[in-house]
Amino acid sequence: MTKKNLYILLLATTVVLTLLAIIIFRDRDRIKFSPIPIQRYEITLMNIDTDRVQEELERLYTLYPIFLYGADLYYEGNLQQIYDFITCPRTKSLLNDVLEKYPNLTFLEYALGESFARYNRFFDRDIIPTIFTYISHLDYDNRVIFLDTILLIAIDMYLGADNEHYNALALPMYMRRRLETPFIAVDVMRAVAHYELERTPQPQPMRTLLDHMILHGKVAYFLARTLPRTDMAVRFGFTPEQMVWAQRHERLVWSYLVGEQLLFEENLRRFRAYVNEAPTVQIFPGSPGRIGHFLGYRIVRQYMENTGKTIPELFAETNSQNILRLSNYRP
């Protein structure tokens, strides 16, 4: 065989092996799933006969016990409270906005079906939650509640950043922009991640900036694996411009944290903007608030690549310094 033919053979073999590796990788990332039905409590509740509230609620109790459990349906005060909620003009207006924006939730049933299938595979579980949507009267802090087999979604919290109802919340735009459709699945899977983290014994309380970064990095890694089709900026709650800034200035921010000895700082006031809600980190113009989540994710991702750990093993590792050391993180 001539050198030329040998070169062609080696080149062809390399191409075939590369294509095979790509196919294997893609097949590994595929997963079988079924959409998870979503029960719309807000529609059922708002359509009951208000002249027969007690009888209607007794009927709903068997269908939606999570919303009525423990309620004394014979107590006049409870019945009046529910009547007032149903007939409240704001509730009716919220329902109209919900129905206009979400006449059906098929897209979400498929998205959550896939994400929970991935979650079950990673944690060797078999959870198919019963999912309910409802009107919360703008309960921003409890947009999603995950209770192992029950998932509650306050659908009135995803009507779009410009919805006039959100004016009453006095939320800044950097928070309001996450009240959009793409963030429903993200908020759901974030709630699932925190649920799993809370199930894991945490012998060391979070004290330092690094502790906070690694915790949020774990959540971000979980989101990346359970929502692989979701844009990274959406998963982090950044604008596209902020996402680009974070990627371009990763080394700059990390060098500053190391140089200013902030990684092991325990005074939250000194690092709040890096991990908590904030429009930006003031020392870095153009940066997103919570940029520490992104750096934490990059550390965790390298840790996972270097160690080959599973996600449950990642969640069980509570030593932030150990994760940083084994990640060999060098942006």
Q: What percent of the chain has pLDDT over 90?
A: 83
> What are the residues whose beta carbons fall under 8 Å from the beta carbon of 92, sequence distance 6 or more?
46
Q: What is the pLDDT of residues 216-263, one digit of tens each?
A: 999 999 999 999 999 999 999 999 999 999 999 999 999 999 999 999
Listed range (9-18, 116-125, 162-171, 175-184) with the worst mean pLDDT? 9-18
- pLDDT class of 7 with cuts at 50, 70, 90: very low
Provide the H-helix boundaries in 30-181.
41-46, 53-63, 65-68, 76-87, 89-101, 106-123, 173-176
Banded pLDDT at 205 (limits 50, 70, 90) = confident
What is the average per-residue pLDDT within 134-162?
A: 96
Average the pLDDT over 73-99 and give the result: 93
Distance (Å, whole) CA 255 – CA 241:
22
**Arithmetic mean of pLDDT, 139-161:** 96
Q: With 90 as the cut, is the pLDDT of residue 172 above it?
A: yes
Report the distance separating Cα 263 and Cα 128, nearest Å: 39
Nearest residue to 16 (alpha-carbon basis) of 26, 8, 27: 8
pLDDT for position 29? 64
Residue 275 has pLDDT above 50, yes or no: yes
* C-beta separation of 175 from 288 below 8 A: no
Residues 299-314: tens digit of each pLDDT: 999 999 999 999 999 9
What pLDDT is stored for residue 6 in this prediction?
A: 44
> What's the average model confidence in pLDDT over 187-212?
90
pLDDT of 14 over the 50 cut: no
Overall pTM surpassing 0.85 (yes/no) = yes
- Residue 132: strand pairing partners: 39, 152
